[in-house]
A and B are shown apart, each in its own frame.
Chain A
Amino acid sequence: MSVYAAGIDIGSAFSKGVIFKNKQTLGFCIIPSGGDYKATAEKIKKELLSKTGLSSPEPIFTVATGLGAKMVGFADVIRTEFSCHAKGIITIFPSVRTVVDIGDSYSRAFRIDEHGHLLKFLLSGKCAGGSAQILKKIAKILQVKVEELGPLSLRSQKQVDFNTNCAVFAESEAVSRIAEGASKEDLLAGIHRALAAQINNLAERVGIEKDYALVGGGAKDEGLVKAVELMNGFNLMVPPEPLLTAALGAAILAEEVAPA
């Protein structure tokens, strides 16, 4: 008899959960991580249960991953983000060999084989440079929603030059460009290109092999996805819900390793 399997991914910005049985996703949820990961994990569990109509005494085997994996009190197993991402992406897109996860606090590039086994990996630097952090900051400066960044950027006629790789200095560079009269659209296109160059650099250092996928919060920004495509000429694959890849992978792993 198979059991219910859950994957919980506690990230620095969002926490994600997937509940799974017989290789089928029964429900998922995405909530902001906040300042208390333990409580966040409990909240996800509750939401997952409510989505499936299960009562909590029902046995659920849980794999936790992400920055806050250790805080998931009810986790049976903890796995690295890499193995969960790899499992998730190879299930969604079996042809994918290169993945870049654009997260809130850093980005990570990795290459996998046809079984989803990790071959090579690299994380962006020790700061937020190269992560999606900069997009949140820019959205705040421009007073637009993060979801609007992509569509705005795609309407750019003449992207501005943007040189800073640091997420903190980028803020002051953005303000300077605004003062020079750059439009929101052109400014965003410039920022997307600068970020795309950093992402491409990471990917090239692990070696790009087709197919190439982007996941994580940054992959929800179509302006960024387009900029990365223009940078390296590959058609990128993006899952329908890029935030969920690791949580889905964790749930699949949970079903695989759960005691029968």
Chain B
Amino acid sequence: MEEKQKGMWPLVEKYYQDYGSRARELKKDGKKFMGYICSFVPVEIIQAAGFIPFRIRGNVHEPITKGNTQLETIACPFMRSCFDLSFKGHYDFCEGVIIPHACDSMTRSYSVWKYSLGLPYSHFVNVPHTVNAASLEFFEAELNTFRKSLGRYAGKEISAAEITQAITAYNQLRKKVKALYELRKTNPPLVSGTEMAKLLTVTAGLPVEEANVLCDQALDELPQRTAPSGQKLPRILIDGACIDNIDLVQLVEESGASVVADDLCLGMRDHWPNTDVDQDPLKALSRRYLEKLNCPRTFRQSLGGSLPDDLQARFGDMGTHIKEFRVDGVILYVYKYCDPFGFEVSARKAYLSSLGVPVLYLEDEYSSGTLGRLRTRIQAFLEMMG
């Protein structure tokens, strides 16, 4: 445990505990921040416009208070927590907020974000829900609208070269994160799921250059750890939406398991798909965000074939990760009122059981108050896996 206190980890801890503290420091130096929520906002365009993209995060330890005056409790609790913190001024270093057409909770709350926060800039990125030639063409045009809108606000024209430069920086970050995931393939893993969750939560609120440096440091430090000789614990993959607090991962690991992989927004979902650099940058971005980013908010039409074919097409990437990371069991973790995941629960379970992987389905609020209840289920699941 002492090892964790060395090197870059105290900084990660500091940024995790006081999310946004680095942004506040940089703002004093004249840096400009643009807030966004969800994986469907093309951060490369924000970066190219000369802003630092800042991923708005919720906090399971802070009760939603002021936010509930503007949003009813049927709205996604994760999104409400993000809004609540923004509305209370936690992220007031951001000049604007960008919301994507991801799920209904985000789409329908855009006007609440826009008018309640009253920030100088706000934009809604219209992401289509299907993947085909027409939707890709539409999305590319929509990204161009976003580029022009943000350019007007920034008082500059965002060039293709600037977007390509940003694409390269984010591709580099994703490559480094993938290399860090490699360290989880050993048994026991060299880096815990809790540490990775903390690191990846933190990097989403940092300038990409600093995120890259932090990942480089982790890549230098972690392989030097002596391979833990301890007991080999069950290897768990967590499947779900955006988990931007370490509590669930920590709970699973405290219960006697190693979280080695995930299908989560701040984890593999975000960091696996890269943007191609050999084509027009907006076209490449439209393909990355619509075609490659695999989230249930995007409807992937079944092009004939059987149910197993359909499941393979939709969740095959998770199946590959299960094999590569030698996953013993999956925890499917879904927020209450999350429509995109809620509709897919049975399909995800069916796919996982076709692989012979045990799955525990947890529906949860976005609150630390429910951890005790989850503990019972997680312990029983691990016990059942033996």
Q: How far is the CA of A119 from the CA of B370 in the complex (A)?
A: 25
B380 interface residue per 8 A CB criterion: yes
Interface flags, B340-382, vs A, CB<8A=1, else 0: 0000000000000000000000011100001011001101110
Collect the chain A residues with CB atoms within 8 Å of residue B377's CB. 121, 123
**A121 touching B380 by the CB < 8 A rule?**
yes
- CB closest residue in chain B, given A79: B383
B384 sits at the interface (CB 8 A): yes
Interface of A is mostly: mixed
Name the one of B364, B376, B381 contacting A81, with C-beta atoms under 8 angstroms: B376
Q: How many A-B residue pairs have CB under 8 A?
A: 30
Partner of B383, one of A67, A80, A120, A126: A80
How many residues belonging to B are interface residues under a CB distance threshold of 8 Å? 14
Tell yes or no: A152 within 8 A of B by CB. Answer: no
Q: Does more than half of chain B's interface fall in helix, strand or loop, or is it mixed?
A: helix
**Per-position contact with B for A119-144: 1 when CB-CB < 8 Å, else 0?**
11101001000000000000000000
Contacts of A119 in B (CB 8 A): 384
Q: Kindly list chain B residues whose C-beta atoms are within 8 Å of the C-beta of A82.
A: 380, 383-384
**By the criterion CB–CB under 8 Å, are A118 and B373 in contact?**
no
Interface residues on A, range: 10 to 19
Chain A residues within 8 Å of B365, by CB: 126
Kindly identify, within residues 231 to 273 of chain B, every residue whose CB is under 8 Å from any CB belonging to chain A: none
With a cutoff of 8 Å between Cβ atoms, the chain A residues found around residue B376 in the complex are 80-81, 123
Cα distance, A81 to B376, chains bound together (Å):
8
Q: Which residues of A contact B379 (CB under 8 A)?
A: 80
Query: Which of B177-225 touch A at CB < 8 Å?
Result: none
Q: Which residues on the B side are within 8 Å of A121 (C-beta)? A: 377, 380-381, 384
User: Which residues of chain B in 59-85 are interfacial with respect to chain A, using CB atoms and an 8 Å cutoff?
Assistant: none
B373 touches A126 (CB 8 A): yes
Q: A80-B376, A81-B376, A123-B376 are in contact. Are A118 and B370 (CB under 8 A)?
A: no
- Quick check: B370 and A126 within 8 Å, CB to CB? yes
Q: Which residue of A lies closest to B386 (CB)?
A: A117
Cβ of A164 under 8 Å from chain B:
no
**A131-B381 Cα distance, complex, nearest whole Å:** 21
- Judge if A83 is at the interface, Cβ distance under 8 Å: yes
Q: Roughly how many angstroms separate A123 CA and B364 CA in the complex, as a whole number?
A: 13
Additional 12 contacts, C-beta under 8 A, given A83-B380, A119-B384, A126-B370:
A80-B379, A80-B380, A82-B380, A82-B383, A83-B383, A117-B386, A118-B380, A120-B384, A121-B381, A121-B384, A126-B363, A126-B364
> Chain B: residues with CB nearer than 8 A to chain A?
363-365, 370, 372-373, 376-377, 379-381, 383-384, 386
Can you sample 10 A-B contacts with CB below 8 Å?
A: A80-B383, A81-B380, A82-B380, A82-B383, A83-B380, A118-B380, A119-B384, A120-B384, A126-B363, A126-B365
**Which residues of A pack against B, CB within 8 Å?**
67, 80-83, 117-121, 123, 126
